[in-house]
Amino acid sequence: MSYKFGLILSLTFLMAVMFLGGDLMNVATIKNSLDSLGTVVSYRIASEGTVSSSTKQLIASYHATFRLEEGEREGYRMGDTVTYYLTKEYEPFVLRKQAMEIYVRRSAVIGYYKN
């Protein structure tokens, strides 16, 4: 009888650890996805010289949000540094009770890439 009770308790603990591992894997996957998207967005900003609507559509297609650190500006000069945040929300299983906001901070130098 006691081995059955021990098995039930160990399965409960095992499930909690599995949910925690799933949360950690999902957070790492989202962070890596945002990091890759940030590389593409930095290249596009640097080569285009502005944050174009096609770049914003690309970000929206990944269900991420885009925010400039200094706020919206129309145009940039050659050599200006644009710092921005890419953000995604994640509803974890056991890490938190409310949604987590996962973000990366990236920057691009205008005119760094020559066409």
Separation of alpha carbons 113 and 94, rounded Å = 43
pLDDT of residue 94: 84
**Between these two residues, 5 and 58, which has the higher pLDDT value?**
58
pLDDT of residue 114: 63
Instruction: Give me the DSSP letters along 4-42.
Output: HHHHHHHHHHHHHHHHHHHHHHHHHHHHHHHHHHHHHHH
Residue 41's contacts (CB-CB under 8 Å, 6 or more residues apart) are: 55, 58, 59, 66, 84, 86, 106, 108
Single out the residue of 110, 95, 112, 115 nearest to residue 30, CA to CA. 95
**Between these two residues, 7 and 43, which has the higher pLDDT value?**
43
**Element spanning 54, H or E:** helix 53-61
In one letter, which amino acid is 98? Q
Asked whether the CA dihedral 53, 55, 61, 65 is positive or negative, the reply is: negative
In this predicted model, what pLDDT tens digit does every residue of 11-63 receive, in sequence order? 888 998 999 999 999 999 999 999 999 999 999 999 888 888 999 999 999 99
What are the domain boundaries of the chain? 2-109
Residue 21's contacts (CB-CB under 8 Å, 6 or more residues apart) are: none
Question: Can you tell me whether residue 97 is helix, strand or coil?
Answer: coil
